[in-house]
């Protein structure tokens, strides 16, 4: 079966000057080349990878593939999920992977695998800086489309440079090997492959702040039409898509390069929550950004909560549950009169009015000037403390019939 990450496409992509500069001596490898480099004895026959090695060797490679996934994902992703995805690369033709290797990867001897497989695999495992796994037909209604299954890169803090060869340490720059390069390679190859869209599920939705910003800057937008039994059915993940016809090869490369001058501008990114506009520069702003997350999640989750015809089973975390309790309590207080007896739950727009009102309030707090620090000990005053109020029954837009309500426990 034809794979997404064809060698000629990957070579064309990484030969571009902007990508070469971003890679800083690192290398992109598709499944076949990676397996060849990882251990040349692995690929010997025109058969599935599972039958190209003895059982003992196969299980050794599976173990190291799992280790690669867990070390690159830094336990941010569930280990069982990442291990399963890695294993599928060897067992299913519907899966494909693209890997980023540290500089001077070619200096690790290919023939060492046959003599000292454990030593060879360990060296090469530590040379893997990141990867992207894609699956064909994960969304059944788009059977020929590859979706992004998993993407992981090592962060600066987790990169210990003594793991790499001496030559690699000299050339490897101290910056995160950005997932943007892997995303760009996916879009570049998918467009050439003939896909109309690039699609993915954003794990844990807006709680995955870094992922949301990374995907958005590559042109992905929230796409709730992908929810359903014949596509993405995990309600707690956010489906996103990008129309590949709207992107030229050059634009894909520019966005993937990480060059701030060439990246997609915030004002050009479609985001109905406004979340993409709030990039924190201080700890105070980080707290406010985090406080926005449950309201962004609820703006789409509440649609499925309210429409009981939907087959998806909504789940909420503690903060989201308390927010909805606040909304319903406000509604019950407001409707407790002779004109509206027995109303149990507000209309959907009532929820959305509250969520958007809270997002507006938090946005205003986010944009407030930072507290001034003390200038000198001689003439000092206590520094202003910015109070970030937690969601409560008293927060949010004013309701016309709102009565006195006790303050809810802080979330």
pLDDT at 144 over 90: yes
Alpha-carbon gap, residue 144 to 2, rounded angstroms: 11
Residue 387, Cβ density class (10 Å: 0-12 exposed, 13-18 middle, ≥19 buried): exposed
Tokens 């309790």 -> residue: 325
First and final CA of the chain: distance in angstroms?
A: 50
Q: Model confidence at 410, in pLDDT bands (50, 70, 90)? A: very low
- The answer to which of 100-109, 143-152, 155-164, 296-305 has the lowest mean pLDDT is 155-164
Q: Cβ distance 120 to 129 under 8 Å? A: no
Q: pLDDT (tens digit, 9 = 90+) per residue, 158-200?
A: 454 445 545 444 445 444 457 889 999 999 999 999 999 999 9
Q: What is the pTM of this model?
A: 0.78
Q: Of 183 and 156, which is predicted with more confidence? A: 183
Alpha-carbon gap, residue 358 to 399, rounded angstroms: 13
- Numbers of helices and strands, H then E, in the chain: 14, 7
Q: pLDDT (tens digit, 9 = 90+) per residue, 102-131?
A: 887 777 765 555 556 566 667 777 788 888
Mean pLDDT is highest, among 63-72, 337-346, 352-361, 375-384, for 352-361
How many C-beta atoms lie closer than 10 Å to residue 45's C-beta?
9
Q: Cβ distance 284 to 46 under 8 Å? A: no
Q: What is the pLDDT of residue 124?
A: 78
- The stretch 278-304 carries a mean pLDDT of 93
Identify the helix (H) or strand (E) that includes residue 332: helix 318-334
Q: What is the pLDDT of residue 350?
A: 86
As a whole number, the mean pLDDT across the chain is 76
Q: What is the pLDDT of residue 55?
A: 54
Q: Model confidence at 236, in pLDDT bands (50, 70, 90)? A: confident
Q: Which domains are assigned to the chain?
A: 7-168+176-193 (3.40.630), 277-370+386-411 (no CATH)
Tokens 């467009």 -> residue: 191
Token pair of 353 as six digits: 């009015």
pLDDT at 280 over 90: yes
Question: What SS3 state is found at 309?
Answer: coil
Q: Of 44 and 325, which is predicted with more confidence? A: 325
Token pair of 3 as six digits: 């794979």
Identify the helix (H) or strand (E) that includes residue 128: strand 128-136
Q: pLDDT (tens digit, 9 = 90+) per residue, 206-234?
A: 999 988 998 999 999 999 999 988 999 88
Q: What is the pLDDT of residue 90?
A: 75
Q: What is the DSSP letter of 266?
A: G
Q: Cβ distance 148 to 235 under 8 Å? A: no
Q: pLDDT (tens digit, 9 = 90+) per residue, 35-52?
A: 778 764 444 433 444 444
């Amino acid at each position: 079966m034809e794979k997404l990450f064809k060698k000629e496409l990957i070579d064309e992509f990484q030969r571009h000057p902007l990508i070469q500069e971003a890679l800083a001596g690192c290398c992109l490898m598709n499944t076949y080349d990676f397996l060849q480099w990882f251990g040349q004895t692995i690929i010997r026959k025109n058969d599935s990878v599972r039958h190209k090695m003895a059982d003992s060797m196969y299980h050794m490679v599976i173990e190291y593939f799992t280790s690669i996934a867990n070390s690159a994902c830094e336990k941010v992703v569930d280990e069982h999920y990442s291990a399963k995805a890695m294993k599928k690369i060897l067992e299913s033709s519907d899966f494909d992977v693209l890997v980023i290797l540290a500089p001077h990867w070619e200096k690790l001897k290919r023939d060492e695998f046959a003599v000292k497989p454990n030593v060879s695999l360990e060296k090469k495992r530590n040379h893997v800086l990141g990867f992207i796994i894609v699956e064909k037909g994960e969304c059944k209604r788009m059977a020929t489309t590859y979706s992004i299954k998993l993407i992981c890169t090592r962060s600066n803090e987790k990169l210990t440079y003594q793991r790499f060869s001496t030559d690699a340490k000299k050339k490897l720059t101290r910056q995160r090997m950005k997932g943007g390069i892997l995303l760009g390679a996916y879009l570049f190859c998918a467009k050439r492959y003939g896909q109309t869209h690039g699609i993915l599920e954003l794990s844990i939705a807006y709680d995955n702040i870094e992922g949301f910003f990374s995907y958005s800057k590559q042109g992905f937008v929230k796409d709730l039409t992908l929810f359903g039994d014949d596509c993405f059915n995990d309600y707690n993940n956010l489906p996103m898509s990008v129309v590949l016809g709207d992107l030229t090869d050059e634009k894909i490369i520019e966005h993937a390069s990480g060059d701030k001058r060439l990246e997609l501008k915030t004002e050009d990114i479609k985001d109905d929550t406004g979340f993409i506009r709030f990039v924190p520069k201080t700890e105070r702003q980080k707290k406010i950004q985090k406080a926005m997350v449950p309201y962004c999640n609820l703006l789409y989750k509440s649609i499925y909560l309210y429409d009981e015809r939907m087959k998806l089973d909504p789940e909420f975390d503690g903060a989201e549950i308390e927010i909805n309790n606040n909304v319903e309590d406000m509604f019950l207080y407001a409707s407790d009169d002779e004109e509206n007896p027995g109303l149990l739950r507000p209309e959907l727009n009532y929820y959305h009015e509250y969520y958007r009102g809270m997002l507006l309030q938090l946005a205003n707090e986010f944009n407030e000037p930072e507290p001034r620090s003390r200038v000198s000990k001689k003439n000092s005053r206590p520094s202003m403390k910015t109070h970030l109020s937690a969601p409560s029954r008293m927060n949010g837009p004013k309701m016309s019939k709102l009565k006195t309500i006790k303050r809810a426990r802080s979330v």
